[in-house]
Structures are given as structure tokens and as C-alpha cells.
């Protein structure tokens, strides 16, 4: 089954404790992206990747890191989480980096709470 | 001003009603446009792409007005199952960045 998976689905942590949210897709998609969703603000793009070893900042990259060492995986790293990073996070992928009309497929989301 | 703006609603409509949502975007260089549906606490799923010529899929019609920089979604004969949040999304020049609206909440009642 074609899908985007994220782990963990739920996480409660404390300020400053490094964490990684994994994202994996099995569709051989070039493009992957991370979003956060907050009430009243909608989905905001954190980082995106056009292919292996090619990443760039979205609109809200502060406090986050990403890497794309393999085509299928795009982990989101919070080196020192803070309470303002409490949010619902979605990973997404689409077939081609320049595929303007391509559908983005979203993972099921990770609900992160930073105390 | 936000790059992509939607009326947050909520829109409360009876079954069978026709409802329309608009979404405005500020970047005239935007290249592609989409409507997504999101159920509570779930991931967004593509509802329709939006083309200059307009497109229709059953009870759903999407249109793009480049001159006025807005996209619209029309839902005819609303069903209870249409209750959800509808997000518009705009790809900027180059297509790498996607900007989402904050969503419009729809409640369809029996």
C-alpha cells in the first residue's frame, strides 16, 4: 500500500530534550516536506527536500533540522524543543520536486507536546 | 496580510444545500492551486486540483480567477459526510513551497 508513515504518532517531552520524528514514504517520491499545524494558523511549511541531500527552509524553520540521506526517509529533528513547538506535525511527499500539479500525500500526523 | 486567506467559518448548512468557499492569494506568481479536505485530527487529503478552466468532480466544482487572485470551491447537494475542514493550498513559483490557508470549517446538518 502506497503511504507516508510517521513515528511516533504521539509524544510528550520536556524542554531541551532532543527528539526526532521519523517520516518514510514507499512511493519513490522525490519531494518531501514537513508542516506544522496550529489552531487558526493552518499548515505552515517547516522544511522541504527536493531529493536526496537537497533540502531548503520553508516558512517556519527556526528550531528544526532535517536530513535526507535516503530517498524514502526525511526525519525532523528538534535539537532543543521548547513549548512553542507544541503542535501537530505532518510529513508529506509528492512524486516530482518540480511537479507543480502533483498531489501531496500526507502522513497521519505526530502530535507533539513540549512541557 | 497572510499569503493565502480563507474565511474560517464555520459554515452551518442543511443537507442538500449548496455552499461556496473562497480563498484569496497574494502572490501573483503562484503557479498551482489545490483544495484539500481535512477531517478532525486527521491528515489533509487532496480533494481537487484547480485549473484556469475550472474543474468539476461530481458535486464539487473548483475555479480559479487569476485576475482577482482567488480560487473557489462549490459543493452542491451537501451531505452529512461533507462535514470537514477545507484547506486551500497554493504552490509558489518553482513549486517547491506550498502555502496553505488556515481552512474553512463546514458543518452539514440533517
CB pairs under 8 A between A and B: 56
Query: Do B95 and A42 count as a contact with CB atoms less than 8 A apart?
Result: no
Q: What pLDDT digit, counting tens, does each position of B55-106 carry?
A: 999 999 999 999 999 999 999 999 999 999 999 999 876 677 889 999 999 9
- Chain B hits for A59, Cβ within 8 Å: 97, 99
Judged by CB atoms within 8 Å, which residues 35-64 of B form the interface with A? 41-46, 49
Query: Do B87 and A109 count as a contact with CB atoms less than 8 A apart?
Result: no
Task: Give DSSP secondary structure letters for A13-80.
Answer: E-TT--EEEEEEESS--SEEEEEEEETTTEEEEEEEEEETTEEEE-S--TT-EE--SSTTB--EEESS
Number of Cα atoms under 13 Å in the Cβ half of residue B19: 24
CA dihedral A54→A96→A24→A82, nearest 10 degrees, is 50
Q: Is A104 on the interface with B (CB under 8 A)?
A: yes
CA B57 from centre of chain = 14
Query: Do B96 and A48 count as a contact with CB atoms less than 8 A apart?
Result: yes
Query: Do A100 and B95 count as a contact with CB atoms less than 8 A apart?
Result: yes
Q: Does residue B47 register a pLDDT over 80?
A: yes
Query: Do B96 and A35 count as a contact with CB atoms less than 8 A apart?
Result: no
Distance CA A46, CA B109 (A): 36
Asked if A90 contacts A109 with a C-beta cutoff of 8 angstroms, the reply is yes
Distance CA A15, CA A63 (A): 12
Q: What pLDDT digit, counting tens, does each position of A24-74 carry?
A: 999 999 999 999 999 888 899 999 999 999 999 999 999 999 999 999 999
What does the block give as the cell for B26?
A: 497574494
CA dihedral B26→B30→B33→B37, nearest 10 degrees, is -50
Amino acid at each position: 500500500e502506497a503511504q507516508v508513515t510517521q513515528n511516533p504518532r504521539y509524544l510528550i517531552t520536556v524542554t531541551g530534550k532532543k527528539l526526532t520524528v521519523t517520516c518514510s514514504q514507499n512511493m519513490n517520491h522525490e519531494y518531501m516536506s514537513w508542516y506544522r499545524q496550529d489552531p487558526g494558523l493552518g499548515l505552515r511549511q517547516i522544511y522541504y527536500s527536493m531529493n536526496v541531500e537537497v533540502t531548503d527552509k520553508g516558512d517556519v524553520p527556526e528550531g528544526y533540522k532535517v536530513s535526507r540521506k535516503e530517498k524514502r526517509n526525511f526525519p525532523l529533528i528538534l535539537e532543543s524543543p521548547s513549548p512553542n513547538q507544541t503542535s501537530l506535525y505532518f510529513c508529506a511527499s509528492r512524486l516530482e520536486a518540480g511537479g507543480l500539479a502533483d498531489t501531496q500525500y500526507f502522513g497521519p500526523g505526530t502530535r507533539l507536546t513540549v512541557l | 496580510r497572510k499569503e493565502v486567506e480563507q474565511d474560517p467559518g464555520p459554515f452551518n448548512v442543511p443537507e442538500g444545500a449548496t455552499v461556496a468557499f473562497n480563498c484569496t492569494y497574494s502572490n501573483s506568481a503562484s503557479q498551482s492551486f489545490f483544495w484539500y479536505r481535512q477531517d478532525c485530527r486527521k491528515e489533509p487529503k487532496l480533494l481537487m486540483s484547480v485549473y484556469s478552466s475550472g474543474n468539476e468532480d461530481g458535486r464539487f466544482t473548483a475555479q480559479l480567477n487569476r485576475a482577482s487572485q482567488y480560487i473557489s470551491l462549490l459543493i452542491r447537494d451537501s451531505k452529512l459526510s461533507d462535514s470537514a475542514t477545507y484547506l486551500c493550498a497554493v504552490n509558489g513559483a518553482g513549486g517547491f513551497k506550498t502555502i496553505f490557508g488556515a481552512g474553512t470549517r463546514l458543518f452539514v446538518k440533517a
